[in-house]
Amino acid sequence: MTERLIRGRVLTFVAEPKGIDDTAAWRYFEDGAVLVRGGKVVDTGDYADISKLAGADVEVADHRPHLVLPGLIDTHLHFPQTQAIASYGAQLLEWLNTYIFVEEQKFAEAAHAAAVADRFMDELLSNGTTTAVAYCSVHAESVDAYFTAAEARGMRMIGGKVMMDRNAPDALRDTPQQGYDETKALIAKWHGRGRALYAISPRFAITSTPEQMEMSQTLVAEHPECYVQTHLSENRDEIAFATSLYPAAKDYTDIYARYGLLNERMLLGHCIYLSDREISALAESGAVGVFCPTSNLFLGSGLFDRDRFDRLGARWSVATDVGGGTSFSMLETMDEAYKVLHLQGQRLTPFASFYRMTLGNARALGLEKQIGSLHAGADADIVVLDSSGKSAMEYRMRTARSLAEELFILQTMGDDRCVAEVYVAGKPMKAKGKRATAASRFLENA
């Protein structure tokens, strides 16, 4: 069995940092190493200690002076929107109708879904993201494409077919029964196969009838082992429309609560305009609000109020929300998260950012034993970050004096150019030369 010793400046979290000086929340090894065997972390620590645990034919990957961290985790994005990022000029409902519901129809064709799924996984990996939670399209084939591409790379990925039976084009609508049957079959096929995990995915209250919500409730009751994902309170017009469709509900959150969907395996994208009552309802159920900063800015949606989530004891995670989000990079995402919080007088320390992209998001998924940190026995999903990956960063780094400063430079200026390597279950996976291929295709088409 191949053994690999990954050497570099290792950083991994053990708790949520309570402030910039909370050094007990993380472990940092200046000359550190992670020993990997059979896709798992054997142990992490100082190189001098860890190298003694290695066998004679260990492969050494020396990444000094780069940082070695757990692979990044993205808790909400849309795989069929990979080619619809940067669609101009509209807020949520108009954007969905004008661009997204057109794009997602292409996924009726299995070959298209397979090609995009491959590209999607490679984009994640080149940005250092080793686990993500994605919506597929309404077509069951898109879920097969998604998990097939993840399986080919050995990635732990979570996803599911969107269910939508109204307020969408005919070609994108299922029926409550079809949504139920297809979801059941996909769970049976994919949940727990290799590293795959299923997310039951009613898109949002606007695109599901009460009958489909009831079917979702049945699915969640029958499959407590699966995740549930949807969208909540992203945009004022969306909220008005959703609540008008469910007049008996107290508010938007109550729509999902009435159908028994709120639980600790539920991820609710956006959560921007929630009342204290709604955030408290999330807190009570353990459901997770997902902060999608680049998307919330790009679609002109609004500002996520992290401090209110913390004050009311509700769980939250971070995500790119591609293609409402504008980047696959979790570094760029945290850059925007910092600014969104800053606008509201809230602080996001660099340690809190790196915690959130790794262990914090793993905890939001209940997967902290497997991913999000480099403890012995964890899955060996690892990212290697080069803080001088761009020339302006290299110049800025010359004046950096602390790890906190370096992390802040990485999140503020960094992107995929700072991902020197990524390991999935211990295997190096960084895709090379993609940009040249895409550029030459553009020139061919021109």
Q: Which residues bind Zn ion (CB under 5 A)?
A: 269, 321
Total residues at the site for ligand GUN (CB under 6 A)? 11
Residue 205 binding: pick among ligand GUN, Zn ion, none (C-beta 5-8 Å cut-off by kind): none
Site for ligand GUN in 275-304 (CB under 6 A): 295
Q: How far apart are CA 13 and CA 105, in angstroms?
A: 41
Closest to ligand GUN by CB, 187 or 206: 206
Q: Quick one: which of 414, 433, 428 has its CA closest to 127? A: 414
CA dihedral 281, 282, 287, 293 (to 10 degrees): 160
User: Which residues in 406-427 are b (16+ Cβ under 10 Å) and which e?
Assistant: bbbbbbbbbbbbbbbbbbbbbe
Quote the least distance from Cβ 77 to Zn ion, whole Å: 7
Quote the least distance from Cβ 350 to ligand GUN, whole Å: 27
User: Looking at 7, 203, 308, 356, which residue binds ligand GUN (CB under 6 A)?
Assistant: 203
Residue 6 binding: pick among ligand GUN, Zn ion, none (C-beta 5-8 Å cut-off by kind): none
118-123 long-range Cβ contacts below 8 angstroms, 24+ apart: 118/149, 118/152, 119/82, 120/79, 120/82, 120/146, 120/149, 121/149, 121/150, 121/152, 121/153, 121/155, 121/157, 122/431, 122/434, 123/82, 123/328
Residue 381 binding: pick among Zn ion, ligand GUN, none (C-beta 5-8 Å cut-off by kind): none
Q: How far apart are CA 23 and CA 170, in angstroms?
A: 55
Quote the least distance from Cβ 102 to ligand GUN, whole Å: 12
Residue 295 binding: pick among Zn ion, ligand GUN, none (C-beta 5-8 Å cut-off by kind): ligand GUN
Q: Is residue 321 part of the contact set for ligand GUN (CB under 6 A)?
A: yes
Q: Quick one: which of 59, 109, 68 has its CA closest to 383? A: 68
Residue 234 binding: pick among ligand GUN, Zn ion, none (C-beta 5-8 Å cut-off by kind): ligand GUN
Q: Is the separation of the CB atoms in 290 and 267 below 8 Å? A: yes
Stretch that binds ligand GUN, among 15-23, 92-100, 114-122, 341-349 (CB under 6 A): 92-100
Closest to ligand GUN by CB, 13 or 101: 101
Burial class from Cβ neighbours inside 10 Å (0-12, 13-18, 19+) for residue 221 reads exposed
Q: Is residue 234 part of the contact set for ligand GUN (CB under 6 A)?
A: yes
Quote the least distance from Cβ 352 to ligand GUN, whole Å: 24
User: Looking at 100, 155, 157, 384, which residue binds ligand GUN (CB under 6 A)?
Assistant: 100
| Binding residues vs ligand GUN (CB under 6 A) | 78, 92, 96, 100, 203-204, 231, 234, 295, 321, 324
